[in-house]
Amino acid sequence: MPRAGRRPARRTLAALASALGLAAAAAGVWAGTSGTANAAGSVPTPDHTVIVMLENHAYSQIIGSSSAPYINSLKSGGAVLTASYALTHPSQPNYFAIFSGSTQGITDDSCYTPGFSSAPNLASELAAAGKSWASYNESLPSQGSTTCSSGNYARKHNPWFGFGNVPTSTALTFGQFPTDFTTLPKVSFVIPNLCSDMHDCSVSTGDTWLKTNLGAYATWAKTHNSVLIVTFDEDNSLSGNRIATVLYGQPVSAGSSSGTRYNHYNVLRTIEDMYGTSHAGNAASATDITGIWAS
């Protein structure tokens, strides 16, 4: 005989899970409440992954540069991709590529219409797989603001606003980046402003910003099964679009490197496979980043 009360209890749990998901979205972290996807075997499953996007510098301007001592310390204690490439010029199409596996028809840095695309992307895939997502954007006027620009803030570096299937509330200000790193979503992007990302200011300025603002997370990631990825949107238009991409954290083999040619689609594919999501756009035919993971 069926046990009395079993189905109402299940409905209560389902309602609770839905409420938790809605509350998390309201707080700016998009938390999926369903999905049982598992990571691909060739990559680890970090508790948290933070991707930082910097701007407009070639590999040779960063790796080995005395102006970037912190990034080079992450390289020494983590891994560097020595044949990492952006996809195009100018900046904005590269951001769409690393987030959605496609430039979505964007060819310049002009201010796009919010929610113009319904294509799959990292955030929508994570939610479908029951994983949490948010972005942290320096100088964003307020959480979810879709303004084109404000001071040193520029929406051209924030592709998530281009997708109607990503809640605008998941775009947080950098002031909302938590000090308790256990509360971070599974995956998050950090977008410094136009000075901090080396676009308008020096390599040294960006390197110092990274250390000051993400150094504590990097140190924590080293002992808490988490990863920091630091990469660039594009080079200085003088180096074949070769860029620096550095990974750091407990799942990363310290002092490792890979000379395999990778681009933004490989980075996206790797993050997707870390969390067992589907694959957006050109990430479906890209390969995972391998050869740098700790056993």
pLDDT over 90 at 15, yes or no: no
8 Å CB contact between 241 and 87:
yes
**Structural domain contains residue 276:** yes
- What span, in angstroms and rounded, lies between the C-alpha atoms of 109 and 148? 11
Q: How far apart are CA 141 and CA 239, in angstroms?
A: 34
- Terminal Cα-to-Cα distance of the chain (whole angstroms): 50
Per-residue buried b or exposed e for 219-233, using 16+ beta carbons within 10 Å of the residue's own CB: ebbbeeebbbbbbbb
Domain tally for the chain?
Answer: 1
For residue 248, give its domain range.
48-285
Alpha-helical segments (H) within the chain: 6-26, 59-62, 69-77, 91-100, 122-128, 203-221, 264-274
In a domain, 54, yes or no: yes
How far apart CA 119 and CA 125 sit, in angstroms, is 10
Whole-prediction pTM: 0.89
Mean pLDDT throughout 76-97?
98
Provide the CB-side half-sphere exposure for 105 (13 A, CA). Answer: 8
The domain that holds 178 is classified in CATH as 3.40.720.10
pLDDT tens-place string over residues 132-159:
999 999 999 999 999 999 999 999 999 9
Proportion of the chain above pLDDT 70, given as a percent: 87
Rg (C-alpha) for the chain, rounded Å, is 19
> Per residue in 221-238, pLDDT tens?
999 999 999 999 999 999
- Domain assignment present for residue 241? The answer is yes
- 68 within domain boundaries: yes
290 confidence band (pLDDT: 50, 70, 90): very high
> Is residue 26 situated within a structural domain?
no
Q: What's the pLDDT score for residue 29?
A: 77
Tell me the torsion sign for CA atoms 18, 22, 27, 30. positive
What is the mean pLDDT of the segment spanning 62-89? Answer: 98
What average pLDDT does range 153-170 have in this prediction?
98
Per-residue confidence (pLDDT) for residue 37, from 0 to 100:
52
